[in-house]
Structure 1
Amino acid sequence: MADKVRLSLDEVRSLAEVVLSRYGLSERHVEAVSDTIVAGERDECASHGIYRLLVCAHTIKAGKVALDAEPVVHDIAPALVKVDAQGGYAQLAFKLGKPVLAEKARRCGIAAMGLNNCVHFAALWPEVEELARDGLVAFAFTPSHAWVAPAGGKKPIFGTNPIAFGWPRPGEHPYVFDFATSAVARGEIELHRREGKPIPLGWGIDADGNPTTDAAAALEGAMLTFGGHKGSALSTMIELIAGPLIGDMTSAESIAYDGGAKASPHGGELIIAIDPARFLGSLAAEHLARAEALFEGIAGQGARLPSQRRYEARARTATEGVYVPRKLLEDIQALLD
């Protein structure tokens, strides 16, 4: 593995903290953002790991994120909370709003939180997994930059627009999925470009609308939704419920705000939490047991549950560390020169 370097998770965290601090992020943001980057490497999701330090550094240098933003929590209704991130990264806004969202979900049975005026660069699974570990069913949605063409179209209008879901399981890791409504996360295409590898057909089109296996051409052209019109419809839904519904930007508005800086997306996130105990009362345990029968029916026939691979990786990397491409590590270390 001459082309890779082994790092412990502590070394990943230290590297993230040093880079983010050097680029001026406040201590609370450094901690929250580093948590997400470490989670990406820990779970062997390289496109959401330390590669994102390059993205953060570029966004900071472009002046597109508030380095010392102090999010403001607005308790707007019995089952609604909004958090104004004040132009900072979304992680700290979520951290401050999560306890309020959880309390409202337990009191009302269901609650929603809008994160506004955030800078996004990461996956959504950390948010829904945290809520599911607290016994709540959770959904999260966010637009991004307009990089993705609608089904039948040639010009970008959607973001990668992920959906994440978390379900609590007694004695087990939560059931979690998190996927873009684009055919793949944009970071995956960028990693292919960096390594000079072709992308599969169906991931993107070039600037003329032609199918392409060239990662750079897809990044300059448009990404595609998964599942044709079905992915396109879901992406539209996310634009609406995590954009206008919570008073924030669509992906087209986010990329216009970016003004060619090619920084991370700026906009909102909608998170919904449901308390099964409040919803089901004394029957909660009975119905949650039925859910376990469903999971057993899936896994029992050899099918993989979403998030299972990440949990297996998590157990492994805790002791074995992670392997990072040498060139990527050199590029990150160059940020400190």
Structure 2
Amino acid sequence: MSEPDDVSLSLSDLFDLARKVLLHHGLSAAHADAIARVITQGQRDECHSHGLYRLLGCVRSVLSGKVNQHAQPTIRDVSPGVLAVDAHYGFSLLAFETGLPRLAEKARSQGIAAMAINRCFHFSALWPEVEAIAAHGLVALAMNPSHSWVAPAGGTRGVFGTNPIAFAWPRAEGHPFLFDFATSAIARGDIELHAREGKSIPAHWAIDREGRATTDARAALEGAMQTFGGHKGSALAAMVELLAGALIGDLTSMESQSLDDGAGLSPCHGELVIAIDPKRFLGSEYAIGEARAERLFEAIVTQGARLPSQRRFDARTRSERDGVRVSRSLYNEIMEVFH
């Protein structure tokens, strides 16, 4: 009898699998826990390009010897409203978790605070981070460069990273208003998954080596990705390079790509995270501002539109109830890394 096409896992089994793989390859327990949590969240919310699939890239990066597997992030207070967390060339997620309590404290004290995460390897989505900040009752914004896979509008060669921007607005009831999107037409991981599965891609996602639009996922990986919205996405991508690279004293996507030197590892760069306390901004008018936001959200959904991330939240409910399903081929490939 042939094996089924996919494997069913509970969320706890998924977390345990990811953690065991990471520990097997020498990551400290603190790093393994932080990474496994985010990978589980991605798979749970059916963000497949940022779920269990990302474990393979983590392992490749660790095996390269470039990642500091036991890095202990350190915090530096820059000013009353600014802190910097040095990841010491470990993965970014433990650095974020280390700095989050201090970021929240500064935001409540000053009304707004910024955290730079420096010298980190980054592979994950940003929505788990801004959602964690929103859980503190704070408005959140996060962004980072990556590798220079993305051509500027009108160009033919990679300059920008996928350069995601994530935002979260806390709500008194239910999930926060939240979005996380790449300034590229699609996330790099989605093209990689299409290439793995032999599927074509939309022509506006990428160009080949000759600068021509392509529907071939492998040709896209060898060429350059496109920004979303033409020159508008290109301008936002440049903004991310400046704010989450030059401004915080860390690498741009081109510099990260150069450091990688063809190894194909997770990008190494920095990240900018901003937290805002609406209660400090609004003071006695906090309830008025909160109500104003809710009227905005109601005006969106009552005409049949949906709020961003609603599909993810719906998927979360299903996964928490039923567990997740992982393709058999991906599951087998992950199991092979134990050998």
TM bucket normalised to smaller: over 0.9
Q: May I ask how many residue pairs the two structures share in their alignment?
A: 337
How far does residue 2 in structure 1 lie from its aligned partner after superposition? Answer: 3.0
Secondary structure class of the residue paired with 2:90: coil
How far does residue 295 in structure 1 lie from its aligned partner after superposition? Answer: 0.4
The percent identity for this pair of structures is 59
Secondary structure class of the residue paired with 1:85: strand
Q: Structure 1: how far apart are the matches of 2:41 and 2:49?
A: 11
Q: Which amino acid aligns with 1:49?
A: G
Give matches, 1:1-337, under 5 Å.
2-337=4-339
Per-residue displacement from partner, 1:84-136 (whole Å, max 9, x unpaired)? 00000100000010111111111111110000001000000011001111110
Q: Which amino acid aligns with 2:197?
A: E
How far does residue 62 in structure 1 lie from its aligned partner after superposition? Answer: 1.3
Verify the 8 A CA contact 1:116 1:267 in the aligned structure 2.
Answer: yes
Per-residue displacement from partner, 1:221-247 (whole Å, max 9, x unpaired)? 000000000000000000000001000
Per-residue displacement from partner, 1:144-193 (whole Å, max 9, x unpaired)? 00000000000001000000000010112111100000000000000000
Secondary structure class of the residue paired with 2:13: helix
Q: Which amino acid aligns with 2:256?
A: S
Secondary structure class of the residue paired with 1:2: coil
Q: Structure 1: how far apart are the matches of 2:310 and 2:104?
A: 25
Per-residue displacement from partner, 1:31-88 (whole Å, max 9, x unpaired)? 0000100000111110000001110011111122110001010011000000000000
Consecutive unaligned residues of structure 1, counting only runs of 5 or more, are: none
Verify the 8 A CA contact 1:64 1:258 in the aligned structure 2.
Answer: no
Structure-1-length-normalised TM-score: 0.99
Q: Which amino acid aligns with 1:252?
A: M
Q: Structure 2: how far apart are the matches of 1:311 and 1:100?
A: 28
Secondary structure class of the residue paired with 2:78: strand
Consecutive aligned runs of 4 or more in structure 1 exceeding 4 Å deviation: none
Per-residue displacement from partner, 1:236-295 (whole Å, max 9, x unpaired)? 000000001000000000010011111000010000111000000010011111100100
Q: Which amino acid aligns with 1:151?
A: A
Q: Structure 1: how far apart are the matches of 2:208 and 2:5?
A: 30
Secondary structure class of the residue paired with 1:149: coil
Secondary structure class of the residue paired with 2:191: helix
Secondary structure class of the residue paired with 1:324: strand
Secondary structure class of the residue paired with 2:89: coil
Q: Which amino acid aligns with 1:124?
A: L
Q: Which amino acid aligns with 1:230?
A: K
Verify the 8 A CA contact 1:138 1:274 in the aligned structure 2.
Answer: yes
Q: Which amino acid aligns with 2:213?
A: P
RMSD of aligned C-alpha atoms? 0.8
Q: Structure 1: how far apart are the matches of 2:9 and 2:105?
A: 38
How far does residue 319 in structure 1 lie from its aligned partner after superposition? Answer: 1.7
Structure-2-length-normalised TM-score: 0.98
